[in-house]
Amino acid sequence: MKTVFRRHPDYFRAGQPWVDGVDWLVMEDDAAALAAYRTGQLDAGPWHFWTVRQADVDSIKKSHPQLVYQDFLSSVTQVIYMRTDKPPFNDLRVRRAISHAVDRQAIIDSVFLKGEPTPAVARGLTEWSLRIDQLGPGAQYYRHDPKEARRLLAEAGFPQGLKTQLTTTSGLGADLVDAVQLAQRQLKQSGIETELKLQEFGAYASTTLVGKFEGMVMAPLGIAWEPHSPLYGLYMPEQPRNSSHVSDPKIIAMVKEQMRVKDIETRRRLVFDIQRYAAEQHYYVYLYSVGLMGSWQPYVKNYAPSPSFDYGNRAAALWLDR
Q: Which is nearest to 230 in space by CA: 34, 113, 11, 79?
A: 79
According to the model, what pLDDT value does residue 30 have?
Answer: 87
Is residue 270 a contact partner of residue 120, using CB atoms and an 8 Å limit?
Answer: no
Residue 216 has pLDDT above 90, yes or no: yes
How much of the chain, in percent, has pLDDT values that exceed 90?
A: 89
Residue 294 has pLDDT above 90, yes or no: yes
Residue 173 has pLDDT above 90, yes or no: no
Cβ-based neighbour number of residue 163 at 10 Å:
12
Residue-range domain boundaries for the chain: 2-67+297-320, 77-290
Residue 309 has pLDDT above 90, yes or no: no
Using pLDDT thresholds of 50, 70 and 90, give the confidence band for residue 175: very high
Residue 252 has pLDDT above 90, yes or no: yes
Contacts for 275 with CB less than 8 Å, ≥ 6 apart: 119, 120, 121, 129, 130, 135
- The tens digit of pLDDT for each residue in 64-80 reads 999 999 999 999 999 99
State the SS3 of the chain.
CEEEEECCCCCCCCCCCCCCEEEEECCCCHHHHHHHHHCCCCCECCECCCEECHHHHHHHHHHCCCCEEEEEECCCEEEEEECCCCCCCCCHHHHHHHHHHCCHHHHHHHHHCCEEECCCCCCCCCCCCCCHHHCHHHHHHHCCCHHHHHHHHHHCCCCCCEEEEEEEEHHHCHHHHHHHHHHHHHHHHCCEEEEEEEECHHHHHHCHHHCCCCCEEEEEECCCCCCHHHHHHHHCCCCCCCCCCCCCHHHHHHHHHHHHCCCHHHHHHHHHHHHHHHHHHCCEEEEEEEEEEEEECCCEECCCCCCCCCHHHHHHHCEECC
Q: What would the mean pLDDT of 24-46 be, rounded to a whole number?
A: 93
According to the model, what pLDDT value does residue 322 have?
Answer: 85
The second-level CATH assignment, the architecture, of 77-290 is Roll (3.10)
According to the model, what pLDDT value does residue 247 have?
Answer: 97
Cβ-based neighbour number of residue 126 at 10 Å:
12
Q: What would the mean pLDDT of 146-174 be, rounded to a whole number?
A: 96
Q: Which is nearest to 183 in space by CA: 105, 114, 245, 117?
A: 105
Mean pLDDT of the chain: 95
- The tens digit of pLDDT for each residue in 90-122 reads 999 999 999 999 999 999 999 999 999 999 999
According to the model, what pLDDT value does residue 275 have?
Answer: 98
How much of the chain, in percent, has pLDDT values that exceed 70?
A: 100
Residue 28 has pLDDT above 90, yes or no: no
Is residue 254 a contact partner of residue 274, using CB atoms and an 8 Å limit?
Answer: yes
